[in-house]
Amino acid sequence: MPNHKEIQNKAIHQRKNKISVLFLFLVLFMGIFLFSVLNTISSDRRIPSHNTTIYDRSFRGAIISADDYTLSSSEKTYQAVVRGASIDPDKKALFVKLFSIYSGIPEKKILKKFKNRKGQEIKGNIILSKTIHARSAMQLKSLAYKLQKLDVFQPIKTRSGIEVVYGLDIIENGESRRFPLKDVLSPILGYVGDKSDGRYTRPSGKKGLERAYEKHITSKKNGYFQGKRDVVGAVIHDKNSIKMQRVDGLDLHLNIPLALQRRVELMIDQMKLSIDADEIIVGIMESKTGKILSLASSERYDPSYIRQKDIAALVPKFTEYPYEAGSVLKPLTIAMALDKKRITPDTWFKTGYKKFDITGGQSVSDDDYFESLPVTDIIVHSSNIGTSQISWLLTGKEFREGLLKFGIAQKTGIDLTRDLPGSLKPLRLLDHKMHRANSSFGYGMMVTFTQLMKAYSAFNNDGLAMTPRLVDYLQDAKGNHYTLEPEIGNVQAVNKKSAGQVHDILLEVVKRGTGVKAQYPGLEIGGKTGTAHIAKNGRYVREYHSSFYGFANDKEGHKYTIGALVIRAKKPYKYFASQSAVPTFRRMIDILVELDYLKPEGGLEVSSPEIKVEPKIPPKIIHEPTVVQKAEEKKVTVEPVKKPAPTVKELFKIEKTPTPKPKPVNTTPAKDKSTQELFEDLF
């Protein structure tokens, strides 16, 4: 049997174990308690906080015209949320009626929101609309207060047994993009899509300037105001409150004045109808700076409401539509040969061939027969035979490098989303006389509208081809201006003397060649026509690109490079550039004169022939005009009509709906009107 001492030791040992276990329990309990306290302190609790934060989300930058009209801007959007079970059933019809009036949403559409797919009433949260704009949001917030006063909402018991009244909540959920002038300046402006982080939606550029300047105009940093709250939840402004200013995206300020752009757009819309063309593209650029004053297409769309039929128009053809240039490339060929001193403007070439063999079993011919022509008249009469022979005075390498210096087969550097380079035959082919001849008058190569605008600016700017620029500068909220250098700069295409010689040749084209319809007394007008077949499935068809690129200058130093491209004019004989692109070019000059961008010497104002929109006639077989008919067409001269320039309403008179009351006629001449008055005339 164990003795007394052993029993006593065993009892002491047991007590020690019990005390140790109890101590461990106490330590564990204390640890759990301290962890709970720490977790309570560090975590967000459901009790009202003494501090609150008001967020001020930043905006995407706006796009603004040169005459300070907002073309694209952002505004906040809100969503309306209500709890289905919180609406008194007897007053549900009143709620739906009032919400429909304030929001503009039909009652039937609102009632559908209250039921699920099975047709059962939804008791939880219901999103009535996700696209409420700021003005409507303010009105709906006012409605929410009135509905509370009318006892439309009934209390709901929570799981804890507390009765809570849920009302109509108007919650900020994103930012939307506004295009207040609808299709004006599209597709240059481009369009946006939605980019969401789950709770907040922002616009994201998809095309045009919205995409090209995405990283500069996108929202930069949200602002907030943080401080103690009072009993009603309002932030107290004191020395301890913290305010952080938001940083919005930069605003884009364009070189394009809205008054000029809209005039040009309305004009080409009418011209398109007049000649039944698929599309007309035009541009006006300052020859000295490269600033684009107008870049317009007859195919436009409303960026805030894009329809299925608008998809083709989403692509800006100015930079994304390569085509075979035709005869407008001939001045470039002449300029390169002049630059290399292989010819002078007075060098004569034999052109008296009915068919001129360019080897390889191929031959070219001219519309007009001349036994021989000097270089100047080769361009004036657009001789394929003469241009081919001039191209042979250059090597394949010289010819190719010369075109590259003009910017052909290269990106122009214009600030748009995509700037396609087009294409040029490789050196191994251009070493062959046949390929060099074809390329010399614009076939077998692909160019874009902006490439030719850049190239032709060299003939009006001492040989320096200017990079086209849409954006003048970027501006922040403090008014600071920032400019971005183009990725591809200006290029010296040819020397000053050669550019001047081609300049003078282009003047002769307008004086006595295919460009006579572009004449304007008191102004220096030059340019070159081009009528090129369109290729389909590897074969040329009876469809054409008609174009006219050139310049218009006055004695006061205003110098503009102007281009007009007509795609598939289908009215009889309107596919000739002299019947479509040249009159379009001339009407742009009329607009420039009316708005004081050009000032003719002597103050003469000559109006272009009225644009006539004839009804479509059934298709019929169109015979090619004879050589004599074409020659007669080229020799037509335009006699100045000494009468005041037509107003915008006279030039673009389209009556869609009868006007109830005629407005008083403003007799102020267009050139004396303010930008605001001109803008109001257009709309």
| Radius of gyration, alpha carbons of the chain | 36
Q: Is residue 27 part of a domain?
A: no
Q: Which CATH number characterizes residue 136's domain?
A: 3.90.1310
Domain end among 199, 225, 250: 250
Note whether residue 313 is domain-resident: yes
Under 8 Å between Cβ of 223 and 58: yes
Q: Are residues 371 and 237 in the same domain?
A: no
Residue 235: the pLDDT is 66
One domain for residues 238 and 274: no
600 within a domain of the structure (yes/no): yes
pLDDT at 42: 65
Final residue in a domain of this structure, among 195, 221, 250: 250
CA pair distance 659, 679, nearest whole angstrom: 19
Residue 419 exposed, middle or buried by CB count within 10 Å (0-12, 13-18, 19+) = buried
Do 292 and 238 reside in the same domain of the chain? no
**C-alpha span between 229 and 279 (Å, rounded):** 61
In a domain, 499, yes or no: yes
Token pair listed for 510:
């307008």
Residue pair 187/300 in contact by the 8 Å Cβ criterion: yes
**Vertex 517 angle, CA 516 and 520, to 5°:** 90
Nearest Cα neighbor of 594 from 277, 273, 275, 266 is 266
pLDDT value for 15: 75
**Domain contains 4:** no
Residue 104 contacts by C-beta under 8 Å, 6 or more apart in sequence?
136
**How many domains is the chain built from?**
2
* 311 SS3 class: helix
Residues 321 and 299 grouped into a single domain: yes
Answer yes or no: is 645 within a domain.
Answer: yes
- Do 335 and 449 lie in a common domain? yes
Give the angle subtended at the CA of 297 by the CAs of 293 and 303, to the nearest 5°: 95
Q: Residue 631 domain-assigned?
A: yes
Chain CA centroid to CA 178, Å: 14
Q: 512-527 b/e with 16+ CB inside 10 Å = b?
A: ebbbbbbbbebbbbbb
The reported pLDDT for the residue numbered 242 is: 72
Say how far apart CA 188 and CA 336 lie, in whole Å: 33
- CA neighbor of 174 nearest in space, from 144, 137, 211, 121: 137
Helix/strand/coil (H/E/C) assignment for every residue in 117-170? CCCCECCCEEEEEEEEEHHHHHHHHHHHHHHHHCCCECCEECCCCCEECCCCEE
598 & 527 share domain: yes
Amino acid 636: pLDDT: 37
Do 220 and 268 fall into the same domain? Answer: no
Q: Are 681 and 672 in contact (CB under 8 A)?
A: no
Q: Residue 31: its pLDDT value, please?
A: 81
- Give the pLDDT score at 57: 83
Show the DSSP H helices in 308-383 as ranges: 317-320, 330-339, 375-380
Tell me the three-class secondary structure of 456-498, residue by residue.
Answer: HHHHHCCCEECCCECEEEEECCCCCEECCCCCCCCEECCCHHH
Residues 65 and 147 in one domain: yes
Q: Are residues 80 and 176 in the same domain?
A: yes
Amino acid residing at 216? H
Q: What is the pLDDT of residue 635?
A: 38
Phi, psi of 272 (to 5 degrees): -60, -45
| Nearest in space to 133 (alpha carbons), one of 192, 82, 174 | 174
Q: pLDDT at position 23, please? A: 79
* Rounded distance between C-alpha atoms, residue 196 and residue 202, angstroms: 6
- Scan for tokens 């739906």, then name that residue: 96
Residues of the chain with pLDDT under 50: 47, 606, 617-667, 669-671, 673-683
Locate 206 and state its tokens: 């998809």
Measured from the Cβ of residue 648, the count of other Cβ atoms closer than 10 Å reads 20
Nearest to 513 by CA among 655, 636, 665, 331: 636
Q: Copy the structure tokens of residue 172.
A: 């900020």
Rounded (10°) CA dihedral 266, 272, 278, 284: -60
Nearest Cα neighbor of 287 from 625, 539, 524 is 524
> Do 317 and 218 belong to one domain?
no
Q: Could you tell me the CATH number of the domain that includes residue 301?
A: 3.40.710.10
Could you check whether the bond before residue 625 is cis, i.e. omega within 30 degrees of 0? Answer: no
Contact 331, 403 (CB under 8 A): no
Query: Is position 30 within any domain?
Result: no
What is the span of the domain harbouring residue 131? 52-250
Burial bucket for residue 48 (CB in 10 Å: 0-12, 13-18, 19+): exposed
347 and 483 share a domain?
yes
Beta-strand relationship, 63-64 and 251-254: parallel
Last residue of a domain, one of 250, 284, 302: 250
**φ and ψ at residue 102, rounded to 5 degrees:** -75, -35
Going by the DSSP 8-state scheme, the letter that residue 664 receives in this structure is P
Strands annotated E in 537-584: 539-553, 559-567
Do 305 and 172 lie in a common domain?
Answer: no
